[in-house]
Each structure stands twice: as structure tokens, then as C-alpha cells.
Amino acid sequence: MKLINRQIHLVSRPSGEASADNFKLVSAEVPELAEGSVLVRNHFLSLDPYMRGRMNDSKSYAAPQPLNAVMIGGTVGEVLESRNANFKVGDKVVGMGGWQEYLVVDASQRGVLQKVDTTHVPLPAYLGAVGMPGVTAWYGLTQIIQPKAGETVVVSAASGAVGSAVGQLAKTRGARAVGIAGGADKCRYVVDELGFDACIDYKQHRDLKSLSLALKEACPDGIDGHFENVGGMILDAVMLRANAFSRVAMCGMISGYNGEPIPMTLPQLILTNRMKIEGFIVSEHLELWPQAMQELGALVAAGKLKYRESIAQGLDAAPEAFLGLLKGQNFGKQLVKLI
């Protein structure tokens, strides 16, 4: 009997804010395996902010998500059938399986599917702390911010999958970590569970002056490094408190993902403070992934890199969970459990 693969396709491009109407649930038969191919049952799907940018048909660092095709996304799962000597039934794997329950892929292509060891690291962690978000945090912190012991590093979206790892990695290097997050519960988690030195609830600071004063209190010696996931007023407030020769790793600008303009209030501070501001895309630095994964995996296995997951149940729940992610409704890494 043929396996039926349920998939979610992008069927229209959003105008402004994305909606559930941009997606459609479809079913298709799982094809027969060709030589070199592998059939994977996806167990978890990763939902990430970058997906919102891919929904637009505009110039970016990657091609737009095609219409009427499976929505892009990272997955972890188990090999059900293999016609590839490098993979056997039962192997746990990570790849870009997309918003679907099954994946058939030519595993002879380098890097499309990777085996993972779940002895000490849980399978879904390979989509979070020991996956793309963790490596993103590691790269921006170690390669751009390069914190020295005693310096202060600020992280926006600090309770999220990337931000939470940035602060903890900064602490392992002797830096102070100050988070910015939305809501008292998230801020308590950032300080009490993740070990940040302080966390600012941006929802309590609705204007630039208020947020800047909060940063001044949390960062009495100024800001030496900043990991940016949001942009807008948060970046403006950080720049007002930035020290000379401070470094900013530009990872995301979620404040403008629906097409809103993101003005910078005081760009002259880049010159005045001799700031280094560098954007990066982690997939362009694959040569450093093994080094990052080694550190991240060891820290998770030792219980020294903590993380939280928000898990939606079933493929049908993916669109609403994704839209909630864009509004900050998730707490930690947003996943969809597919099995």
C-alpha cells in the first residue's frame, strides 16, 4: 500500500502581514525510491523567522519560496527505507525536509541529509540549540562580537532559540549578558534559568527614551557587543548606549518582516563610536559548523546550555504556530511534532 504524504504548500504571497490563507494542506503519494535515495519519516519540523522573508518575491540572500510547493523548513526524523549505502533503516537524521510528514531525497548529494547521535542530545535539539539556531548564535558571538571577559553583550529576542544561546555562550566566555525580551515571564526565564545578568522587558518601555534608560541601568559600563534579532527602536536604544569600538552582529530584523520600514534614528553613532556592524547568513559559513556543533553538543550534553521548546502538535498546526512565532507568542524554539 502506498504511503500518503501530507504537505503544506505556500499558495500565495502575503501583502503585509502573513496569514493562514497563504498556505494550503495537500496530500501526495510517496514516490518509489531511486538508487541513492532515502525515505525519511519526519518527526519534528522547525519554524523560524527567516521563513517569512522567503515568502516574499523580492531580492534577498536566498531565492523566494516557490508557490504551490512544499514550504521550506528544517526537519529531524528517522530513515524508513534506504537505497543508499551511507544510510540504514533506523538512522536518525537532520535535513531540510520542509513542511511535510515524509521526505524522499537523493542522499548522495553532499550535505542534504546528516546522521545525528541522540545518545546524549535529544533529537529535536538538532533543530535548536545544536542546530541552525545554535550555530547562528555561536557564529555571531564568536566571529563578529568576539567578547572579552568583563565586557557587556546585549541580546534582543533573548528568550528565543538564537538569543538564549547567545547569552549563555557569552557567559561561558566571561562576559556579562543582558537580554531584551517581551514579557515578565520571558525575562524571569532569561535571568533565573538561563543565567543572564539582567533582562529588559521591552513591553514596559514603549519609547526610545524609556528603553535607553533601562539599558543604561542594566549596562552601567555601556555596551560592547550586541546581537540583533529585531531592529527598529531596540537597535536605536542599543546604539545610544554603545561603547567606542563596539560590535554588532546583525542576525535578524523581525520588526520589518511584514514590509514595514526600519529607520535608524542616529546613524552618526556608527561613526562617533567607531562601531563595527556586520550582517551574516550562517549557511554561508559551513566550514565553521563542525567547530560550533562540537561546542554546542558538549554543552547541551553536560546540561550547561539550556533551552526551551514550544511544540505544536501535528502538521495542520504549522501555519498558526508560524504566525504566532512572528508575533512573539512562542517561548523558546518553535517546533511542530509530526508523529
CA-wise closest residue to 167 among 126, 127, 138, 204: 138
Of 322, 299, 339, 331, which is closest to residue 129 (Cα–Cα)?
299
Q: What domains does the chain contain, in order, with CATH numbers?
A: 4-128+308-337 (3.90.180.10), 132-283 (3.40.50.720)
% pLDDT > 70, the chain: 100
Read off the pLDDT of residues 36-50 as tens digits, 9 standing for 90 and up: 999 999 999 999 999
Residue 259 has pLDDT above 80, yes or no: no
Question: Per-residue pLDDT tens for 124-161?
Answer: 999 999 999 999 999 999 999 999 999 999 999 999 99
**What is the tens place of the pLDDT at every residue in 165-191?**
999 999 999 999 999 999 999 999 999
Is the pLDDT at 257 greater than 90, yes or no? no
Q: Which residue has the higher pLDDT, 256 or 4?
A: 4
Going from the C-alpha of 334 to that of each of 5, 54, 70, 94, 124, the distances in angstroms are 22, 18, 19, 16, 10
Q: Is the pLDDT of residue 328 over 90?
A: no
Per-residue pLDDT reduced to its tens digit, 189-203: 999 999 999 999 999
